[in-house]
Structure 1
């Protein structure tokens, strides 16, 4: 392996893997962002819900530009705070479509300043509903779909979302209580591959019942230590928030919001919905004009009940929990002809005389050397995360997509030849997906696991 000149020795020991030049052997190197603790501590947790439903019409994000007309259901921050006696970790699930990494960076800085939570310990995931307001500047989507962003940035709503998030974290820290952790799997057939193909082998957005899919539900179950009452469920499932299409003008959490509300009502405790590798995965009912036409409530049975069943099957808990976070940067060439937004210049390496290189951040969370969670700001194709899970050294490996920003679609190399929508909104070269999966696996196997 060749050491990249892009690897920089930093105080936080950030890892980099250099995949910048196609002519070089792909992957390089790595240093841990943080050193894992060597003992399990006194585990505490708290969960907070903050309503971020606007009171006035807002520009909705997910299809063409459109102004909201009313509210179908409220949207929220669901905030989970974990503390193992050594450090504090914040996981946020927000009912919006996508988020610019630049917006994440701004909020992460505030979180660290106000609460001392390191950037690597603050994960902001969005559910990917296509019926919620825009938050912050467009970021990378503007490079592909500029016609959707001719209106001004809504700074008032962005400020509201930020203020509510900070307030929720503050409250969660104050409400930390002794907890125990359980983990398990569920299964749901609520989703389907959306890369339909006709006899000309050209892909279009539709349904492919024979295409790759990920129907596993990864469940974290956190209970009160003293009596094992449910405190919070974290459900990880890959599905686009597109039961309702562009005709819908009502604010809604879409399928993720409906399922979260249902699970909370039935279980008596909040649920964080964390999307997975949904780049090529849609709900089985998709892009309908309204919730009734799209059978939205049926997802309570199709997915909500499956999460509840998985939760009930988790009967063993760990009182002593330790966790560590780390990060790598995957460097890969940028697709030719793409005009990269200046606001995201921290996410590229621009060398004289060479193609621009994207710096794609990937986060890792290791819990008790048993649960390995990795996250990225991608709409990832499920084949990549499926393979990582199958080959991972951890008994439980979860992928959290749409996390800490949005840096486009990452396809498998095989899917590029079928063209369609997703390649047009990908900033990467076709070979990136294969190399990315191998880089993540290499990290899990050789770096993260070996530190325990």
Structure 2
């Protein structure tokens, strides 16, 4: 936190300037002199930032994650870690966006320990988010997906590629810390119609993966913009938008960042600085062009106009920046009963609590980041339905409230109680009971309103 440093010299300057601490007797000129001196002396912990981009595209065929098990046959576009390091003078924060589908919480835990040991960045200050492209290689052990879709994981874990991904991430964080420079932070909103509700229903009211124009949707874009404090050049953009990385379907065998990757590349080309794509509550949201056999038939480049241009437009509308930035990260565990009949992976035993011999409770870690008491960001390892994050944002005490999904692991889908009635794919890959989402949203709101604001 930033503190005003009051020294005897400052008090002398204020007195000479005619500024009375108990009244309003200073002349405008004297007041300007006094405030100038205060600004010079109180510059404790100026905000710094850096962004690093690391290529993690494999050079040989890999098992792709998303849809059925399949081996890649080439590369459509490169995939990356995009790493943002923030420093408010008291602590450092690392936000990573990686072009992969999902990540086991156990893999996150392993890397978080390395990050803390090597760089002194606390676990609560290290957020690893994935873009959810369905055309990138597997990383680490499967985790919870194996409990639902074991047939996809009959092959051995690719430890070599996992090690490469982890090494590149650690290298990127190290470079970012070395490259920290004085920065300013801007925040804003954008809007894009690039997504659509994917819980389609016919007259039988049974949901299937398709398009539902009448379904719930979240088309807000949450923007963080980092500029250099001295020359005001753009250093990085963070764009938060909810959309599945499924322009390409299971027939595609080329490695790709899918829609999020295309958008990040386009925004970087147009703006001159890297962009971190952070997915949102995309559990029931697909791109409007979805599940095509190749990028051309799926019109994947259309996302440059539909989403990329909207991010650029929203970024340009941000005119106010703050160079005195203070942030506070924290974590809570949301406890909820496990769905009956689910065989929980032993590797994730840290994420369950045994209450009885037959009843288990899932422990969902939720992260929070308070920036200048104006920006409230929360994150979880879930495929959350958008209605939940929409309501949290609507009722949040923070004027800018962003939800970062697919962050620090994957613990399945969390859908609204109403949507359980329509069955379909998502309930089959959810470890939760139907009323979990209502309690989850209320718990998050309570934390935002009390613990976050009180800090």
Normalised by the length of structure 2, the TM-score is 0.91
1:232 Cα deviation from its structure 2 partner = 0.2
Give the aligned partner of residue 244 of structure 1: 248
1:91 alignment partner in structure 2:
95
- In structure 2, what is the Cα distance between the partners aligned to 1:230 and 1:205? 39
Partners of 2:2 and 2:45 within 8 A in 1: no
Does the 8 Å CA contact 2:136/2:256 hold for their aligned counterparts? yes
Paired position in structure 2 for 1:101: 105
Give a deviation string over 1:303-333, Cα, whole Å, max 9, x none: 0000000000001100100000011100000
3-state DSSP class of the match of 1:45? strand
The Cα offsets for residues 125-170 of structure 1, whole Å up to 9 and x where unpaired, read as 0000000000000000000000000000000000000000000000
Alpha carbons 1:69, 1:249 under 8 Å: kept: yes
Shift of 1:243: 0.1
Please state how far the C-alpha of 1:296 moved relative to its aligned partner: 0.4
For 2:328, which of 324, 336, 355 is the aligned residue?
324
Q: Secondary structure at the match of 1:218?
A: strand
User: Structure 1 pair 109/299, CA: closer, same or farther in 2 (3 Å)?
Assistant: same
The answer to whether residue 269 in structure 2 is matched with residue 265 in structure 1 is: yes
Q: What residue is the counterpart of 1:198 in the other structure?
A: 202
In 2, are the aligned partners of 1:37 and 1:324 still within 8 Å (CA)? no
2:175 maps to which residue?
Answer: 171
Q: Deviations over 1:361-391 (max 9, x none)?
A: 0000000000000000000000000000000
Matching residue of 1:110: 114
Q: Does 1:281 align with 2:291?
A: no
- C-alpha distance in structure 2 between counterparts of 1:338 and 1:353, whole Å: 14
1:420 pairs with 400, 424, 428, which one? 424
Structure 1 position 274, deviation (Å): 0.1
Tell whether the 8 Å contact from 1:37 to 1:323 is kept in structure 2 after alignment: no
Instruction: Classify 1:313/1:150 alpha carbon distance in 2 versus 1 (closer, same or farther; 3 Å).
Output: same
**1:287 aligns to what SS in structure 2?**
coil
Comparing 343-352 and 357-366, the one that deviates more: 343-352
Q: Deviations over 1:261-288 (max 9, x none)?
A: 0000000000000000000000000000
CA–CA distance in structure 2, aligned partners of residues 416 and 406 of structure 1: 20
Contact kept? 2:192, 2:306, Cα under 8 Å: yes
SS in 2 for 1:440: helix
CA distance in 2, matches of 1:281, 1:228: 36
Unaligned runs of at least 5 residues, structure 2: 5-43
Equivalent of 1:208 in 198, 209, 212 = 212
Question: Does the 8 Å contact 1:364/1:373 carry over to 2?
Answer: yes
1:37 Cα offset (Å): 6.7
Residue segments in structure 1 that go unaligned for 5+ positions in a row: 1-35
Partner secondary structure for residue 320 of structure 1:
coil
Q: Secondary structure at the match of 2:410?
A: coil
Give the CA deviation at 1:248. 0.1
Instruction: Determine if the alignment matches structure 1 residue 126 to structure 2 residue 130.
Output: yes
Is residue 2:444 matched to residue 1:434? no
Q: Judge conservation of contact 1:81–1:173 (CA < 8 Å) in 2.
A: yes
Residue pair 1:143, 1:341 contacting (<8 A) in 2 also: yes
- Structure 2 residue 147 is matched with structure 1 residue 143: yes
Pairwise CA distance, 1:38: 6.6
> Whose RCO is larger (CA < 8 A, sep 6+)?
1
Tell me if 1:230 matches 2:234. Answer: yes
| Candidates 185, 188, 192, aligned match of 1:184 | 188
Question: Take 1:229 and 1:168, find their aligned partners in 2: how far apart are those partners?
Answer: 21
1:11 aligned residue: none
Q: CA RMSD in A?
A: 0.9
* TM-score normalised over the length of structure 1: 0.91
Aligned length: 416
Equivalent in 336, 339, 342 of residue 338 of structure 1: 342
Shift of 1:60: 0.1
**How much has 1:66 moved relative to structure 2?**
0.1
Aligned mates of 1:97, 1:208 — CA distance in 2: 23
Residue 219, structure 1, aligned to residue 207, structure 2: no
Runs of 4+ in 1 over 4 A off after TM superposition: 36-40
- Conservation of the 8 A alpha-carbon contact between 1:61 and 1:97: yes
2:13 is matched with none
Q: 2:389 aligns with which of 385, 391, 406?
A: 385
